[in-house]
Amino acid sequence: MSTTIYNLNTQSESTRSRALLFVSPLAAMIYPLPLIGFHACVTVAANAVGSPTWLAWFAASILLLLAFMLPLASILSAMRLSAIQTPTKAELLARRIAFLSVASPPLFTLVGVIFYMLGMSDLDKWVLAVFWGALAIVIAYCDDHTQLTPPPKLAEANLRISHGIVATGILLIFLGFHLANHFFGLIGPEAHTSVMKALRHIYRAPFIEPVLLAGFLFLIISGFYLAWQLTNKATDRFRTFQVAAGVFLLFFIISHINASLVFARVYLGIDPGWGFATGAPTGLIHDAWNIRLLPYYWLGVFLVLSHLASGARAVMLAHGKQKKLADGVMIGGAAVSALASTLILLGMCGLRLHFV
Ligand code: HEM
């Protein structure tokens, strides 16, 4: 692996700030609030009779934007903490918590589904607030004086290569089709469902589905190990983004498989499809619970595709390609991912294309 990936703009001691250590747990702690506010505003807009609703919709848009900004704040804080070459124990802990807090959207969905199944739906936000608050307290009491020497060894090359090969295999046998399927929502639920039924002959085949799930399990375990190793050392912004996307996906995959296999198929006894994914009949926008699925799905599609683009950048650098070209592939890949994600979510929120 080329060392250029790890050659960094390191953070000077003078730019270190103690407040930075608490940005991400606090961002994760308040993450549900803008979504609660969004629901309150759209309810006001929906129930307003004869009075203008633009103010409520404007406030709702700002709050939704804020819900996206909070995980972004965690990524930015992970980037700054990852630039420190010789972190203190508190800085290393805060760096790892910053990566974890990027996953606040899938954690909110995962904990929400688990508490729903336990019949304690209202407790999810409180449990998460206590969890993030406790992490902030642990950082506050952690040693912020002793500087750690970075370990000389990077994550095993063989494991990184196996992780990349399995991810590419899953992209080819499942993920590419699964995401392409969601574009059909722009035509309508029927089109989405008929494509899904055709594709299920492949990925739900008795000999493919267990292999697929085992592949995802391997990605989760190896991804966790790689993230742990890579966050030990200072890294550049590109690599930090790649690891942050990976940590998000780790919890997204656990949450998503729990929702579609355990919650839908076992707990509710239904076959999850378009209606389940879009929170029918209320939909994603107008339901107090379902609104959490909007940033969750958008970031899920965006980060899975951008994570693959980041992997392509790392492979290009390792094979001696120009840094400018490799960076361009990643940035271009992220832009395409954002567009794909937006189109899928517009379809899920009701936008329809009509062909004449
Ligand atoms: C807008 C985004 C997404 C939506 C709406 C969505 C929706 C769904 C639905 C409805 C199912 C159950 C239907 C079926 O299995 O045929 C499902 C299954 C699944 N999805 Fe997604 N998905 C999305 C993104 C993703 C992403 C980004 C990943 C991977 C990182 C993923 C991984 C999976 C897996 C592993 C299954 C289980 C497949 C099986 O064995 O049946 N999904 N998804």
pLDDT tens by residue, 266-309: 999 999 999 999 999 999 999 999 999 999 999 999 999 999 99
pLDDT grade for 13, boundaries at 50, 70 and 90: low
- The finding on whether 204 has its CB within 6 A of some atom of ligand 1 is yes
**203, 220, 256: which to mutate for ligand 1, most atoms within 8 A of CB?**
256
CB-CB contact of 309 with 334 (8 Å): yes
- The finding on whether 170 has its CB within 6 A of some atom of ligand 1 is no
- Check whether 154 has a pLDDT greater than 80: no
Residues 327-337 have pLDDT tens digits of 999 999 999 99
- Tell me how far the alpha carbon of residue 273 lies from the centroid of ligand 1, in angstroms: 9
Atom 35 (ligand 1): residue with closest C-alpha? 257
- Tell me how far the alpha carbon of residue 228 lies from the centroid of ligand 1, in angstroms: 26
- Check whether 32 has a pLDDT greater than 90: yes
- Check whether 2 has a pLDDT greater than 60: no
- The finding on whether 196 has its CB within 6 A of some atom of ligand 1 is yes
Atom from ligand 1 closest to the CA of residue 264? 12
pLDDT grade for 72, boundaries at 50, 70 and 90: very high
What integer pLDDT is reported at residue 11 of this predicted model? 52
CA angle 336, 300, 63 (to 5 degrees): 95
- Check whether 265 has a pLDDT greater than 50: yes
- What residue ranges do the domains of the chain occupy? 6-348
- The finding on whether 29 has its CB within 6 A of some atom of ligand 1 is no
Measure the CA–CA gap between 159 and 15, rounded to whole angstroms. 35
- Tell me how far the alpha carbon of residue 139 lies from the centroid of ligand 1, in angstroms: 35
- Check whether 84 has a pLDDT greater than 70: yes
CB burial string 108-147: b at 16+ within 10 A, e below: bbbbbbbbeeeeeeeebbeebbeebeebbeebeeeebeeb
Atom from ligand 1 closest to the CA of residue 216? 35
Which of 45-50's residues contact partners 24+ apart within 8 Å by CB, and which partners? Answer: 46/286
Atom from ligand 1 closest to the CA of residue 345? 1
The Cα-based distances of 142 to 16, 58, 91, 267, 342 in angstroms read 16, 42, 9, 41, 41
Measure the CA–CA gap between 68 and 34, rounded to whole angstroms. 9
Q: Which two tokens stand for residue 186?
A: 């722009």
CB-CB contact of 36 with 291 (8 Å): no
**192, 260, 263: which to mutate for ligand 1, most atoms within 8 A of CB?**
260
Measure the CA–CA gap between 82 and 231, rounded to whole angstroms. 7
Question: For the whole model, what pTM was predicted?
Answer: 0.95
What integer pLDDT is reported at residue 252 of this predicted model? 98
